[in-house]
Amino acid sequence: MSSPTVGFVSLGCPKALVDSERILTQLRAEGYGVSGSYEGADLVVVNTCGFIDDAVQESLDAIGEALAENGKVIVTGCLGAKTSEQGGSLVAQVHPKVLAVTGPHATAEVMQAIHQHLPKPHDPFTDLVPEQGIRLTPDHYAYLKISEGCNHRCSFCIIPSMRGDLVSRPVGEVMREAEALVKAGVKEILVISQDTSAYGVDLKYRTDFVDGRPVRTRMTELVQELAKLGVWIRLHYVYPYPHVDEILPLMAEGKVLPYLDVPFQHAHPDVLKRMKRPASGEKNLERIQRWREVCPDLTIRSSFIAGFPGETEAEHQYLLDFLTEAQIDRLGCFVYSPVDGAGANDLPGQLPDEVRQARQEAVMAHQAPISAIRQARWIGRRVQLLIDGVDTEEGCLIARTAGDAPEIDGLVRVYPDPNSRHPVTVETGQFCVADIVDSHEYDLEAVYVSHQ
């Protein structure tokens, strides 16, 4: 008899992806079959995103499609936590035929709903699940979620109302997961959370045990432990609190990737105050300068919001001046858009759409030559790359430098050296060494040197 099969649709950010991986791991542990399509599935789980209005629509459409194609649908994720204007579940109101709705990080509730509508199989041999669980990323990199929720209340964000306050995973548990990933062949671990710098605050930095040794549940100590694993460690969502300085020496020593994803969102102190941003009082330009003094190779990624309510022309110009000074390597800038339920919606000085749009374009245009200069500094360097794939048509490897996170940053096209008789002997998921020979707006070109 074939196993009952669950179709799975995973939408949203890396944090939602980790929730999906947990549910998939549990499904496989209990002997369910998992399908990437509706066909052949006895029931479909849709993991949704509710962050911005476009994501809400995409999630609602995906649920509608799953209902039409399959009929038995369970909804989880951020959109599941949203209420309609009448006060009930928004999803249940739009799609009353869904079988169950849960919020994010609710593996137990999702499994309970699945058991109710698709009883679990009884086969003791099917609970053979790999120790590292089921992952949705390629085999060679993985996201490691170190905490849930957030203690801040940024005025444009509704994540805390959907995911609650910060709940950190004890460092021993995080390290066991990281070690299992490395054992399974993962070469790059991407640390994610809503606020990586705040890791452990809720646990009062409690001491836990890693391989029998006492270690505090705190960002610096976690990073020191991860650095011992011998794989690429990349840090995302790091707010510029003073203790971030403690990890820069590890980056300079090559133990952790010299890469920081710091979502500044703006530069002007008054806008940051209206945004209620964490670490808004920090002197960010001085911090960046000091970080680069300690670790000259540091790549900084950041995101900004243009046209926030009340943003004056002078504040917008202040942001442009900040970008000139900060020389951020990788930058995303979003047009401010009100999110249902966010405090910023009630702020005075909401700007017309055209102004917000024009300011976003001005930020991107201002940053373009800065990014180009930052990219060009790679030319002439011999670097270690991680190979993500092969482009057979172009005849090159697709790889990334330490300065490129998967999916959001650029890539490196690595061509064989026409003057070398050494064949290219590397595969996806392995490291190689290459000489960077050219740079474009986001991507780089390189010539293969050796397998590492």
Q: Which residues bind ligand SF4 (CB under 6 A)?
A: 150, 152-154, 157, 159-160, 194-195, 278
Least Cβ distance, residue 166 to ligand SF4 (angstroms): 9
Please tell me whether residue 105 adopts helix, strand or coil conformation: coil
Nearer to ligand SF4, 98 or 159 (CB): 159
Contact between residue 77 and residue 104 where contact means Cβ atoms under 8 Å apart: yes
Nearer to ligand SF4, 159 or 397 (CB): 159
Least Cβ distance, residue 18 to ligand SF4 (angstroms): 15
Nearer to ligand SF4, 27 or 150 (CB): 150
Contact between residue 432 and residue 448 where contact means Cβ atoms under 8 Å apart: yes
Task: Quickly list DSSP for 173-238.
Answer: HHHHHHHHHHHTT--EEEEE-S-GGGTTGGGTT-EEEETTEEEESSHHHHHHHHGGG-SEEEE-S-
Least Cβ distance, residue 284 to ligand SF4 (angstroms): 15
Least Cβ distance, residue 121 to ligand SF4 (angstroms): 38
Least Cβ distance, residue 163 to ligand SF4 (angstroms): 8
Nearer to ligand SF4, 75 or 157 (CB): 157
Least Cβ distance, residue 297 to ligand SF4 (angstroms): 27
CA distance 409 to 378: 15
Q: How many helices (H) does the chain have, and how many strands (E)?
A: 12, 20
Least Cβ distance, residue 318 to ligand SF4 (angstroms): 21
Burial class (CB in 10 A: 0-12, 13-18, 19+), 363: buried
The CA-atom distances, in angstroms, between 181 and each of 135, 176, 190, 228 are 10, 9, 11, 14
CA 448, chain centre distance (Å)? 29
CA distance 188 to 229: 10
Nearer to ligand SF4, 157 or 414 (CB): 157
Torsion of the alpha carbons at 347, 349, 354 and 360, rounded to the nearest 10: -70
Give the CA count within 13 Å in the CB-facing half-sphere of 112: 8
| Residue 401 backbone dihedrals phi, psi, to 5 degrees | -85, 175
Nearer to ligand SF4, 191 or 295 (CB): 191
Nearer to ligand SF4, 263 or 410 (CB): 263
Nearer to ligand SF4, 152 or 413 (CB): 152
Least Cβ distance, residue 156 to ligand SF4 (angstroms): 7
